[in-house]
Amino acid sequence: MIDFRYHIVSIVAIFFALGAGVVLGAGPLKGTGSDIVAAQAAKDRDQLADARAELIQAKALDKYRDDYIAKVTSGLTDGKLVGKRIVLVTMPNADSDMTDAIQAAIEQAGGQVTTKVSLDGKLFDPGQRQLVEPLVNDLVTSDLQFPADSNTYQRAGMILARGVAAKEEAKTVDTEAVKIINGLSSAKLVSLKPTPKDRGSLVVVVAAKPPTPAPDNSSYNEAVDFAEGLDTASGGVVVAGMPESAQNGGFLKALRGNADATKGLSTVDVANLPSGQMTVVFALAEQAGGKAGQYGGIDAKNGVAPTADQVKGN
């Protein structure tokens, strides 16, 4: 046990140290503390200035890279999507600037965006399954056959595809499509702008940046099934997102982990960059030819973009 003498010695030592500090501060070491603080502050300022310079340089290089790609590759996508009608489907909280940039790239390539379909978060809310399932059954059309092993969200994707897309070009929005669009809109599961006159043959699904904290990849199971359903009932689907969406907790990461989905779907994980938006165009052209690939910079199975042969093709 520590006795009383130990505490006395400790207290005396503390006061001695304080006294020594006062003496030294008034004596030969006077000003040393402030000098050290000033020196450290100067060092910190220098480091901050260096960091700012590095950030400015990094931003300048990023801009150079993007401008260089845009200039050197200008025209590569021209004509790739001529005669193609494309539907843009945005996941809940998808980035609007990225969506607009993808649309611009599609139009630059000669494609026509028929409508933007915004998916509401309620669509994938487990608590809303009792709304989604009967609605899907109610909106099914006579010309739409569900695979026997399909689930509710695969069928929901097929239903939306029947409303705004088709496997072939030049399909109009008929009475069955109007019924589907009105049914999904009335249930506040989707919103469309503008109301389409023609159905697209290809679909781009724009993924959102993962929330913080990142969810488990399995939380996207319904969304993956939905995208797979869109692909089943259309001429092809490309899912586009930013790099974060291809990492753990992101939609593209979950989708790429589903072997059945990636047999038909294509993905691009750098759609926030000009080069990635061009890759979306190439991937759409590849989809129109009946092929799929996973492209980008984060664990992309098929590299940065479709092959040169695909790029040269029309």
The tens digit of pLDDT for each residue in 179-228 reads: 999 999 999 999 999 999 999 999 999 999 999 999 999 999 999 999 99
The dihedral over CA atoms of 52, 54, 59, 63, expressed in degrees to the nearest 10, equals 140
For the stretch 266-311, pLDDT in tens is 999 999 999 999 999 999 999 999 999 999 999 999 999 997 665 5
Q: What's residue 48's pLDDT? A: 84
Q: Residues 237, 287: contact at Cβ < 8 Å? A: yes
Looking at per-residue pLDDT, the higher value among 40 and 254 belongs to 254
- Give me the chain's average pLDDT, please: 87
What is the distance between the alpha carbons of residues 178 and 156, in angstroms, rounded to a whole number?
16
Q: What's residue 75's pLDDT? A: 78
Q: What's residue 200's pLDDT? A: 97
User: Residue 72's pLDDT band (boundaries 50, 70, 90)?
Assistant: low
For the stretch 155-179, pLDDT in tens is 999 999 999 999 999 899 999 999 9
Question: Judging by beta carbons within 10 Å of its beta carbon (0-12, 13-18, 19+), is residue 203 exposed, middle or buried?
Answer: buried
Q: What's residue 84's pLDDT? A: 97
Looking at per-residue pLDDT, the higher value among 70 and 11 belongs to 70
User: Residue 24's pLDDT band (boundaries 50, 70, 90)?
Assistant: very low
What is the distance between the alpha carbons of residues 265 and 209, in angstroms, rounded to a whole number?
19
**Whether pTM exceeds 0.85:** no
Looking at per-residue pLDDT, the higher value among 184 and 33 belongs to 184
